[in-house]
Structure 1
Amino acid sequence: MKIGSSKILYIDSTQAGIAGDMFLAAMSDIVDIDMKVLADAVCESTPWCKKLDVDAVDGFKNKFRCKEIKLALEEEHAHKRDGKDVINAVLKSGSKLSLSDKALEYAKKVVETLLWAESRIHGKSMDEVHLHEIGSTDTILDIAGVSYALDKLGVFKKDIKVYGSPVAVGGGYVEMRHGRVSVPAPATLEILSKYNYPFIGGPVYDELATPTGVALLVNIVEKVLRYPPLIKPLKVGYGGGMKEFKSVPNIIRIVYGEDDEIPFLHDKVYVLETNIDDLDDETIGYTLEKLYNEGARDVSIIPVTTKKSRPGKIIKVLCDEDNYINLVKILFDETGTLGVRVYPVNRIILKREIIPYNVVLSGKQYKVNIKVAKDNLGRVIRVKPEYSDLVYISKKLKKPLRIVREIIYEDVRKRIERV
């Protein structure tokens, strides 16, 4: 990621989950939304809507300020509404709001995600599903409203990265038309499963994540992070839900910001560490090789003094977040250690690329891959010829490796400085 070049939207639903109205409320705390325009567009586009008044008001949850969506709704309570009716209502609402094509596509995809979940639960095609809560006007309002807010912020037009936290789903049971079901509700669980979106139970014994909320979430988040990203916050939106909990403010938090303005790249890796004082060097070497083969970015063996003044070693591994569990297992299996320290770290790094160069030595032409490291301003910080290429040329010319390296490095450095 290029720092300073893009904006970030971070959706934090780890505290109290997510619902459509909470998402809309939090977005209204970040970007100005004309709620009358939104309500009129939705009601005029929804055949079963008779009257709809909407407002985003300041409220409090456990003494924490937030925005809350308040609505007065009159609608026809038709028993059956199919998916096409809902999609048409959402798209017509979006057209009246002058949403971009990408925003309309997002809104449609959210409805299709809900329809897919219902069809999977009831074993029917999406065209056969009978909609109840999903077909209500307030659901259409949530979908059209969130799409409207994201579009106004520029999410669908600009270079804005959207990250999300794991979502809290609560616990216990929820009463539905078809009876009492476990939390998360079946539709919610199906959506999270389809998109491989991580969730966590609690922190209260109630339903925290609704199908509409998670459908809006999974279709906009590009990457799920266990911790907030490196971000310079510009605005923070707080959206309150309808329920009241004694122990937890029923609030979703959305942070809009930008990358830190330094001329380098950054990424996040996981560090795994374990202390070893009773393992032979051959087994340690084998473990190191296996860690690399299984995707470790880097492995270090650090000499230390352990308990009772015994000499020992720290095996330190750098890896990607999605691979650390596998590498922890290798450390347990191969070393017999009793524990592994695991923690995420942010790294500031240089942009690296491999550039093939042709060099002429002793009248012959050779190809050498050069690793070039630059900052985001384009300044070359370091160049390094590929070791295996240097070895090949050294053997062919029967010249010392250090001499070959110096000649090639000097030649490459001059060429890069001229570029």
Structure 2
Amino acid sequence: MSFLGKKICYLDCFSGVSGNMLLGGLLNAGLALEALREALGLLRLPGWELSSTPVMQSGLQATLAQVQTEENRAHRHFSDIRALLEQSELDQAVIDQSLAVFTRLAEAEAHVHGTTPEKIHFHEVGALDAIIDIVGTVAGLHLLGIEEIICSPLPMPTGGWLHCQHGALPLPAPAVCELLKGVPVFGESLQQELVTPTGAALAAELSSTFGTLPPMTLKLSGYGAGTMQRQDGRPNLLRLLIGQSHSAAEAQQVEVIETHLDDWNPEVWPHVAAKLMREGALDISLVPIQMKKGRPGFLLRLLADPAHAAHLRNSVLNETSAIGLRFHTVQRITLPRTNIELTTPWGTVRAKKVTTTAGVRITPEYEDCTRLAEAHNIPLLKIYAAVAELSGTVSVHSHEPPRHDIPK
């Protein structure tokens, strides 16, 4: 059984990300060079040429995208780039997303250099090649019909220096650190720039989430090459995996977070549970256990999407008496579901329509059923029976609230 959703692109940044690596990956995955040149021509910006060169790295065929320009690293203000985009003939969605990337860049540079976005003097990222990289990436994704981007955690160097218009800056570049606030990163024992400001801004702005490869039916893959030679000899490539997302019935990787509590006031559990769910927990439970020395205690366990796991771990430590946590990743499968409404003689009941290999199952929302039962002073089972009659497929096993452990 297959449930195909939107067209998604996964950025596998095992060697980092830059603007030209993204362009090269899109071209290697099937984006036509002439179509991209035509789209970029709508900028009405002269003095550049985009080339696509096949290269080999570690036996892998990749594409090196390069922008040749006639200008000598022109410095543009944020307002100049905004005017350039707004006056272009590009699709409005491309204009809006490109402007959002440059806005993010301007805000990061302003924070690092202690000024305001409008006063920011774009140096490297204001040059023609950087403009083509950013607008080209956004336009290329639009041409390929990509509806969502998911990005892997990003590698960061553990030392080294970057020489730019401001002088020598430590790696990772300060602007990159600012751009990647809230983004999962990991250290690499290299003293080379792996994530450029342009690449960081594109990944941070365009990606809906960061984490592992999502469930998808893989359709295309592409490798974009960087110009740098890695010190460790590994390929300096960005991999794009493009396909149709799966809404259900597919394996998903989630993180299990748990801890034992024996010196904690359980009266605060409803507050903690509600907060964890608001912050993205997929499921939570509190189980009574017998601990060492005969103490009664609790096992607190929650499921989390990898993208939300770090924040949820901090919340557990802040909201309980736990001084340590255990966590590991597991695989799970879920079924597709949609929210529907059913009209009973006493009012409307929200329900979930769940698709299984054996057919469709309708499960009413417990809270709505109890609300109607109390309002009309009728047995709760009578509400469930009415919903079952309406749907013909409702299965009611108890008066307990149905589980809601399927992700949004």
* TM-score, normalised by the number of residues in structure 1: 0.74
Q: List aligned pairs for 1:83-122, cutoff 5 A.
A: 83-89=78-84, 95=89, 99-122=90-113
* Alpha-carbon distance change, 36 to 5 in structure 1, aligned in 2, over 3 angstroms: closer
- Decide whether the 8 Å contact of 1:31 with 1:152 is kept in 2: no
- Decide whether the 8 Å contact of 1:298 with 1:319 is kept in 2: no
- Decide whether the 8 Å contact of 1:368 with 1:385 is kept in 2: no
Q: Deviations over 1:172-225 (max 9, x none)?
A: 2211222211112122223233xx433333252211111111222222112222
Over the matched positions of the two proteins, sequence identity in percent amounts to 21
Q: Deviations over 1:221-246 (max 9, x none)?
A: 12222x11112211111111011112
Aligned to 1:381: 361
Aligned to 1:178: 166
Whole-angstrom CA distance in 1 between matches of 2:319 and 2:144: 46
Query: 1:295 and 2:276 equivalent?
Result: yes
Whole-angstrom CA distance in 2 between matches of 1:374 and 1:36: 42
Q: List aligned pairs for 1:195-214, cutoff 5 A.
A: 196-214=182-200
Query: 1:54 and 2:50 equivalent?
Result: yes
Letter in 1 for 2:243: G
Choose 1 or 2 for highest CA Rg: 1
SS in 1 for 2:180: helix
- What is the number of equivalent residue pairs in this alignment? 381
Whole-angstrom CA distance in 1 between matches of 2:99 and 2:210: 22
Aligned to 1:76: 71
Query: 1:148 and 2:134 equivalent?
Result: no
Aligned to 2:26: 27
Whole-angstrom CA distance in 1 between matches of 2:118 and 2:273: 50
- Decide whether the 8 Å contact of 1:192 with 1:214 is kept in 2: yes
Aligned to 2:385: 410
Q: List aligned pairs for 1:394-405, cutoff 5 A.
A: 404-405=379-380
- The Cα of 1:24 is off from its aligned counterpart by 0.4
Whole-angstrom CA distance in 1 between matches of 2:136 and 2:371: 62
Aligned to 1:342: 328
Aligned to 1:272: 257
Whole-angstrom CA distance in 2 between matches of 1:119 and 1:294: 34
Whole-angstrom CA distance in 1 between matches of 2:190 and 2:43: 38
SS in 2 for 1:109: helix
Letter in 1 for 2:246: D
Q: List aligned pairs for 1:195-234, cutoff 5 A.
A: 196-225=182-211, 227-234=212-219
- The Cα of 1:253 is off from its aligned counterpart by 1.3
- The Cα of 1:256 is off from its aligned counterpart by 0.5
* Alpha-carbon distance change, 358 to 124 in structure 1, aligned in 2, over 3 angstroms: same
In structure 2, which of residues 49, 55, 59 is the aligned counterpart of residue 63 of structure 1? 59
* Alpha-carbon distance change, 118 to 311 in structure 1, aligned in 2, over 3 angstroms: closer
Whole-angstrom CA distance in 2 between matches of 1:38 and 1:89: 17
Letter in 2 for 1:230: P
Q: Deviations over 1:85-138 (max 9, x none)?
A: 44455567x63xxx4210122223323333333334334444443333223221
Letter in 2 for 1:10: Y
Letter in 2 for 1:258: Q
- Decide whether the 8 Å contact of 1:231 with 1:259 is kept in 2: yes
Q: List aligned pairs for 1:122-141, cutoff 5 A.
A: 122-141=113-132
- Decide whether the 8 Å contact of 1:169 with 1:208 is kept in 2: yes
SS in 2 for 1:113: helix
Aligned to 1:324: 312
Aligned to 2:244: 258
- Decide whether the 8 Å contact of 2:214 with 2:245 is kept in 1: no
Whole-angstrom CA distance in 2 between matches of 1:391 and 1:77: 70
* Alpha-carbon distance change, 407 to 141 in structure 1, aligned in 2, over 3 angstroms: closer
Q: Deviations over 1:241-277 (max 9, x none)?
A: 0111124321111111112386x6997653224578x
Structure 1 window deviating more from structure 2 (201-210 vs 285-294): it is: 285-294
SS in 2 for 1:255: strand
- The Cα of 1:328 is off from its aligned counterpart by 4.3
- Decide whether the 8 Å contact of 1:265 with 1:350 is kept in 2: no
Whole-angstrom CA distance in 1 between matches of 2:351 and 2:69: 66
- Decide whether the 8 Å contact of 1:20 with 1:212 is kept in 2: yes
- Decide whether the 8 Å contact of 1:22 with 1:241 is kept in 2: yes
Aligned to 1:11: 11
Structure 1 window deviating more from structure 2 (32-41 vs 21-30): it is: 32-41
SS in 2 for 1:31: coil
Instruction: Return 5+ residue gaps in structure 1 as ranges.
Output: 360-365
- Decide whether the 8 Å contact of 2:372 with 2:383 is kept in 1: no
* TM-score, normalised by the number of residues in structure 2: 0.75
In structure 1, which of residues 157, 163, 170 is the aligned counterpart of residue 150 of structure 2? 163
The RMSD of aligned alpha carbons is 4.2
* Alpha-carbon distance change, 285 to 150 in structure 1, aligned in 2, over 3 angstroms: same
- Decide whether the 8 Å contact of 2:179 with 2:197 is kept in 1: yes
